[in-house]
Amino acid sequence: MPKIAIDTTIVENKSITDDVKELIVYAPKIAQQAVPGQFVHIKIATGEPLLRRPLSISNVNVEAGTLSLIYRIVGKGTAYLANLRTNDEVNCLGPLGNGFDLTCERPLLVGGGMGTAPLIFLAQRLNPRTTTVLMGGRNKAEMFWQPMYEGLAKEIHITTDDGSMGTKGFTVSALPELVKANQFDRIFVCGPHVMMEAVAKFAKEHEIPCQVSLEKYMACGIGACLSCTCVNKLGDKRKKVCTDGPVFWAEEVL
Ligand SMILES: Cc1cc2nc3c(=O)[nH]c(=O)nc-3n(C[C@H](O)[C@H](O)[C@H](O)COP(=O)(O)OP(=O)(O)OC[C@H]3O[C@@H](n4cnc5c(N)ncnc54)[C@H](O)[C@@H]3O)c2cc1C
Ligand code: FES
């Protein structure tokens, strides 16, 4: 599929929490082509060298021609994005990367922190009657994701580190019970690296195929600069997260 770099228009840039926002951009061609797990690379016009920042596509509305990007304000680039207003223009390159493999019947989606964003789009393309979602975060305030998954899964489970919502503990601690009660044929996981490693290890022990979505610093986003490579466990050649991923089978990269 051709990658499209286009000047898109901001439809809305709304606050979800103090430091998390949802950017809705009008990009009909990208919305039409995008598959779950892909991302866009957004140009940040700060006056300094024009760099882009990668953000996962967390939702598309093909009819309206829009993409939704949910982002946490962590530095200069995301602070720049946070100041954009309706009708401002932003240049968007995408859809980039390889998405999730959807050939499964009873998936478990595991999201941690901002890693929960791309799983919304994934859940939309799976069967809600057979999909289970497990999401984790530090506390109740970080569990603003829950309403976004309503209607997309038969069950939504929550863990928080401090126990202020759902079960107290990490997402991985909820896995044994969930796996006992369901016959998952796939686990998809996106979140902090240590969480993905723990979930992938659990999946391997239980012989459940597992896909992970990796995050790396990216410069070009299109396979040209090698700034995003990661170890390839199944071969000699390092993998590029931007073009070989960001979604990988767990045993390839963890
Ligand atoms: C494929 C992909 C998809 C992503 N999707 C999302 C998303 O949906 N929502 C979202 O909020 N973020 C997402 N990110 C992370 C996002 O790209 C970074 O938070 C953003 O680039 C930070 O830019 P900045 O200029 O604001 O911060 P910077 O000034 O560049 O950095 C600020 C802080 O964030 C850390 N940081 C920056 N980039 C990364 C990174 N790639 N991985 C880990 N830590 C980083 C830095 O170490 C530093 O502490 C994604 C990253 C990738 C590679
Ligand atoms: S970001 Fe340049 S090769 Fe991946």
pLDDT tens digits in sequence order for the chain, 254 residues long? 556 778 889 999 999 999 999 999 999 999 999 999 999 999 987 666 568 999 999 999 999 999 999 999 999 899 999 999 999 999 999 999 999 999 999 999 999 999 999 999 999 999 999 999 999 999 999 999 999 999 999 999 999 999 999 999 999 999 999 999 999 999 999 999 999 999 999 999 999 999 999 999 999 999 999 999 998 888 888 999 999 999 999 999 98
Q: Given the CA of residue 44, which atom of ligand 1 is nearest to it?
A: 25
Q: Whose CA is closest to 96, among 45, 43, 49, 33?
A: 33
- Asked whether the whole model's pTM tops 0.75, one would answer yes
CA–CA separation, 92 and 40 (whole Å): 6
Residue 1's CB is within 10 A of a number of other CB atoms, namely 8
Q: Given the CA of residue 71, which atom of ligand 1 is nearest to it?
A: 11
Tokens 């949910």 belong to residue: 70
With contact defined as beta carbons under 8 Å apart, do 99 and 35 qualify?
Answer: yes
What is the reported pLDDT for 3? 66
Q: Whose CA is closest to 109, among 25, 59, 174, 169?
A: 174
**For residue 228, how far is its CA from the centre of ligand 2 (angstroms)?**
5
**For residue 147, how far is its CA from the centre of ligand 1 (angstroms)?**
24
State the burial class of residue 227 (Cβ atoms within 10 Å of its Cβ: 0-12, 13-18, 19+). middle
Q: Given the CA of residue 225, which atom of ligand 2 is nearest to it?
A: 2
Q: Which domains does the chain have, with CATH numbers?
A: 4-96 (2.40.30.10), 107-253 (3.40.50.80)
**For residue 54, how far is its CA from the centre of ligand 1 (angstroms)?**
7
> How many residues are listed for the chain in this entry?
254
What is the reported pLDDT for 233? 86
What is the reported pLDDT for 48? 62
What is the reported pLDDT for 50? 67
Q: Given the CA of residue 51, which atom of ligand 1 is nearest to it?
A: 25
Residue 3's CB is within 10 A of a number of other CB atoms, namely 14
What is the reported pLDDT for 2? 59
What is residue 96's three-state secondary structure?
A: strand
**For residue 129, how far is its CA from the centre of ligand 1 (angstroms)?**
33
Tell me which of 21, 41, 53 to substitute to probe ligand 1's pocket, judged by most ligand atoms within 8 Å of the beta carbon: 53
**For residue 79, how far is its CA from the centre of ligand 1 (angstroms)?**
11
**Cα torsion for 80, 85, 86, 90, to the nearest 10°?**
-20
Which residues are near ligand 1 (CB < 6 Å)? 39, 53-56, 70-72, 74-78, 114, 117, 215-218, 246
* 185 contact partners, CB below 8 Å, separation of at least 6: 104, 105, 106, 107, 208, 209
